[in-house]
Amino acid sequence: MLAQIQYEEETFSIDFSKPIDISLSLRGDERNPIAWYLDAPRITPFRDGDFVGKVSEGASVNFNNIQFNPHGHGTHTECVGHISKDFFSINQTLKKFFFKAKLISVTPEDEDEDQVISEAILKDQIGNSCPESLIIRTIPNYIDKRSKKYSHTNWPYLSEDAMLHIRKLNVKHLLIDLPSVDKEKDEGKLLAHKAFWDYPKNTRFDATITELVYIPNQIEDGAYFLNLQIAAFENDASPSKPVLYKIQ
């Protein structure tokens, strides 16, 4: 289904029959990716007395309870409410769902005992211009990211200067294949988050960060049309399903 899209002042073609889903699905078992020292999410049938919400156990419907944390159990999109004293909801913040996007692959630099995505790395990949959405795939990109246990692994992260560069380019929607844009154990500084949202001085309330995506190696770097789907959670973050379409 090839369609002509007019987006802002550009016109381009995309094939809606060839979506590229870069989200990680939520599973109720140990194969689910996990970060932030959580246990695995749970998907279990509702029970009330003799009633068990499972067709294979005699119920007329499957009726499950789901216990999970959006920040630590899969692909999620968050707003500035993630770091602010005041409450802000991703459901009220994200009101547009289609964006032109650029996908880049980066190899973090060794810095002491850390692996850091620096401003220099980003400038080398994207220069001084970028669409409103940027997707970062980190190298190496093993398939075990789909079920990785990230707690206590000191994953790679974006330097404050790198994030300031992203903000300078006016990127409104940043997606990355890590549990956080910040260092796992940073004493609560959250330098990259604060730099991206320009919090608390000139807060960018319409900007979002999506973490724990997964982009298979066969998906080439370049320009895409992004459909950023969220669930209608009145919370700082929601599970999300970013879908890419290659720009023809």
Which residue ranges form the domains of the chain, and what is each CATH number?
2-25+70-246 (3.50.30.50)
pLDDT, tens only, 51-74: 999 999 999 999 999 999 999 999
Distance CA 144, CA 174 (A): 22
pTM, two decimals, is: 0.97
145-183 CB burial, b ≥16 within 10 A, e <16: bbebebeeeebbbbbbbbbbbbbebebbbbbbbbbbbbb
pLDDT, tens only, 89-123: 999 999 999 999 999 999 999 999 999 999 999 99
Kindly state the average pLDDT of the residues 198-219.
Answer: 97
Task: Classify residue 57 by its DSSP letter.
Answer: G
> Which amino acid appears at position 214 of this protein?
Y
Count of Cβ atoms closer than 10 Å to residue 85 Cβ: 6
Give the residue from 90, 94, 138, 116 showing the smallest Cα distance to 192. Answer: 116
Distance CA 42, CA 145 (A): 20
pLDDT, tens only, 161-205: 999 999 999 999 999 999 999 999 999 999 999 999 999 999 999
